[in-house]
Amino acid sequence: MRVALITDPRGMNYPVSIQETYYESLQHVADNIAAAVSRLGYQFKHLKADHDLHDNLISFDPDFVFNRSNRENSDHRFAYTPHLLDKLGIPYTGPNAQNCVTAYNKYLTKKILQDLEVPTPRFALVDNPKDIQIADNLSFPLLVKPVMGGSSLGIEGENLVFRKDSCQIICSNLINNFDRPVIIEEFLNGREFTVAILGNDPPKALPILEFINFSNGDYHFRSFTSKMILSKYEKKSCPALISKQQGNEITDLALRAYHALGCRDYARIDIRWDENNTPHVLEVNAFPSLVSDGSSFALIASATGLSFQDLIDEILNIAISRIHLN
């Protein structure tokens, strides 16, 4: 079987100070997936979602695609790569063209969760650096995030704000530096978990992982620096040390979010407790990081006895089974 891995080309719409770190991490993910797929014995090719993608797909003629591209088309309604693959009749892993865009956009994700009454911190969108309004229904402290970007891109300690003037400054800086809107959301200062999910009908939640050592003073949250630069100091517990009832609540919430966003085959859901230990969905990662020596998904999979190569094989087989069932 011929398998292509498709990833997005390198862009330049990130601050220079973090570009190398961010794109090195994306390349590391691609290299890990490529190595695993090749070791599985498939005929393999790594393609970029650029202007030559159509011709390269025709030339290689893959039987299946491991898709890691969520680059939007020009009018931002759907993702370019899965849309093209659907037109060409080439099956692929992960969500469809519309759900790719939705899951990658934190605001659209939270709107869907809110509409379906899936608990998520209260939030607002800010897109004009010259007219930043703080909604009256939001309570400080607030966490400011770029509306798009993985690996806590653009999130550092100063993004947690306690006053209106500080919030306006951070919003303005992020919008200008990243050339995209931001969301501001109420900060929940409880424990943070992540849930890896595999499968479709029905999907299965793997053991819950807890992040237990990521500090920003009295308020704890994961930043770009803690994830991408100081990750070796970050402590994790899998399975998380929680009661069975608490685990069921977190798992049930993760599965609701998985279905709500139209995830397929695999995804990772980030969840946080409020002061009453009630879980809320922070983000839905339709393309979670997959790295053999450090990613949360790989660590969770290893807790169930799956090696990284086994995990990639499982994702491919799950997606192939989904296509055959349809």
Share of the chain above pLDDT 90, in %: 73
What's residue 23's pLDDT? 78
CATH for the 2-100 domain, from 3.10.450, 3.90.660, 3.40.50, 3.40.720 = 3.40.50
Least confident of 2-6, 166-170, 307-311: 166-170
Confidence of residue 123 (pLDDT cuts 50, 70, 90): very high
Sign (positive/negative) of CA torsion 289, 264, 316, 307?
A: positive
Residue given tokens 């060409």 in the structure block: 88
Dist. CA 21–CA 321, nearest whole Å:
36
| Residue 170 near residue 144, CB atoms below 8 Å | yes
Dist. CA 35–CA 38, nearest whole Å:
5
Mean pLDDT of the chain: 90
State both tokens at 147. 């509306």
Return the amino acid letter for 163: R
- Provide the b/e sequence for 85-112 (b: ≥16 CB within 10 Å): beeeebbbbbbbbebbbbbbbbbbbbeb
pTM score of the predicted model: 0.92
* CATH code for the domain defined by 122-186: 3.30.1490
pLDDT in tens, 203-217: 999 999 999 865 555
What's residue 249's pLDDT? 98
Class of domain 189-325: alpha beta
Name the β-bridge partners of 289: none
Quick one: average pLDDT of 148-176? Answer: 86
- Judge whether residue 71 has pLDDT over 80: yes
- Judge whether residue 12 has pLDDT over 60: no
Spans of all domains in the chain: 2-100, 122-186, 189-325
Confidence of residue 303 (pLDDT cuts 50, 70, 90): very high
Confidence of residue 34 (pLDDT cuts 50, 70, 90): very high
Ramachandran category for residue 265: left, alpha or beta (phi over 0 → left; psi -120 to 50 → alpha): left
Nearest to 159 by CA among 179, 176, 144: 144
Dist. CA 119–CA 45, nearest whole Å:
41
What's residue 240's pLDDT? 97
